[in-house]
Structure 1
Amino acid sequence: MSRFNSLRAALSPRPVARALALLSFLFALAAPVHAGSLTGTYSLVPAQIDTGFSVRVLGGKPVLGGFKNVSGKIILNEAAPEKSRVNVKVDLTTVHTPNDRITGFLKSSAMFDVANHPVATFQSTRVRVLSGNAAEVDGVLTLRGKQQRTKLTVTINGTGNAVSFEVSGGFFRSRYGMDAGLPLYADKVNLNIKGKGRRS
């Protein structure tokens, strides 16, 4: 019964019909469009994603930084979580750190080589539920024209038209030809990503 028909029935002169119809109308108003279901496609926009990374330094403080332009999509299937998908694009030219010299080095040909490879992508290949709202996501990270498998842990919360998520994991930079500074600067780049997705 549509909300309009419920309202019209609620005005019926018959007392019982009027009471039942009024309750139906009130429940229809209270129920969200996507009540309880996260199934759907969610767009990721740069303004709502905080992508941070850290690299340990032997005998010193870690190098901290992030990327200002990360976008993509999350496709969730609540009935069959293993069919969920994640696709992310990272604009490497937006890498930043508190130190301009380090930022410049990360953009150079020795590291991300943004002049020739300005974009990195991650595309999931498998999703496995760990517990509750946490999942292990296997995927392919493409960086500097090279593809390597990597694994991330993702936690998702939300209802209705939006989800919030937190991602942890990382990758080994030497696998992409970025071995400058080893072993003083650690091989593993640790990722910590937080953000929101809006239902498309």
Structure 2
Amino acid sequence: MTVAVETGIWQLDPAASTVGLRHRTFWGLVTVKGTFTAVTGEGEVRADGSATGTVRLDVASLDTGNAKRDTHLHSADLLDAGNHPEITFAARSADRLDGDSVRVTGQLTVRGVGRPLTFTARVASATAEALTLEAEFTVDRDQFGVTWNQLGMMRGLTTVTAGLRFTRTDG
């Protein structure tokens, strides 16, 4: 599918967007899944088809379905929501590839530590009024200072999945 995306300013629709994560724990025997329930963002599509934007995740909104685990994830041991209430991804460029693929390049900031990140997203749908992007990529939490790892239980990469719906705010 090849789709054209309208130029202009786009606002993230939090009710129609999801950002989740998966991480294997207990020496790879258990996969913990969580969802950020508070996601905001905006972007701009330029006349040349490239785009920039920012997505923000409220760290305290991470929900894994286990209150004790969530409290620990929000604590200074891990994501440190008290000192770093947001995880942000600032896209410096989003360039169309073949078909419905988009190469997104930007900076991911977790716990105040920013690192470059490039991944491929898919334009799942696009109209003049709405755009949905889907992506899945991995991050190494150690690179962001998320190093708590009691007894080596939490080695490896964290997988992030995102389904982001944007609505056009200008005509």
TM-score normalised by the chain length of structure 1: 0.75
**RMSD (CA atoms):** 1.8
**Offset at residue 37 of structure 1 (A):** 4.8
Superposition map of 1:58-137 within 5 A: 58-77=27-46, 80-81=48-49, 83-137=50-104
- For residues 187 and 59 of structure 1, the distance between their equivalents in structure 2, rounded to whole angstroms, comes to 9
Verify the 8 A CA contact 2:51 2:95 in the aligned structure 1: no
- For residues 5 and 95 of structure 2, the distance between their equivalents in structure 1, rounded to whole angstroms, comes to 19
For structure 1, which runs of at least 5 residues remain unmatched after alignment?
A: 1-35
**Offset at residue 134 of structure 1 (A):** 0.9
Verify the 8 A CA contact 1:44 1:73 in the aligned structure 2: yes
- For residues 37 and 126 of structure 1, the distance between their equivalents in structure 2, rounded to whole angstroms, comes to 15
Q: Percent identity?
A: 25
Q: Give the AA of the match of 2:118.
A: K
- For residues 113 and 24 of structure 2, the distance between their equivalents in structure 1, rounded to whole angstroms, comes to 23
* 3-state DSSP of counterpart to 2:97: strand
- The size of the alignment, in residue pairs, is 163
TM-score normalised by the chain length of structure 2: 0.86
The structure with higher relative contact order (CA 8 Å, sep 6+) is 2
* 3-state DSSP of counterpart to 2:84: coil
Superposition map of 1:1-200 within 5 A: 37-57=5-25, 58-77=27-46, 80-81=48-49, 83-156=50-123, 157-181=125-149, 183-200=152-169
Which residue of structure 2 lines up, in the alignment, with residue 21 of structure 1?
none
For structure 2, which runs of at least 5 residues remain unmatched after alignment?
A: none
Q: From the CA coordinates, give the structure whose radius of gyration is larger.
A: 1
* 3-state DSSP of counterpart to 1:169: strand
Moved over 6 A (4+): none
**Offset at residue 122 of structure 1 (A):** 0.9
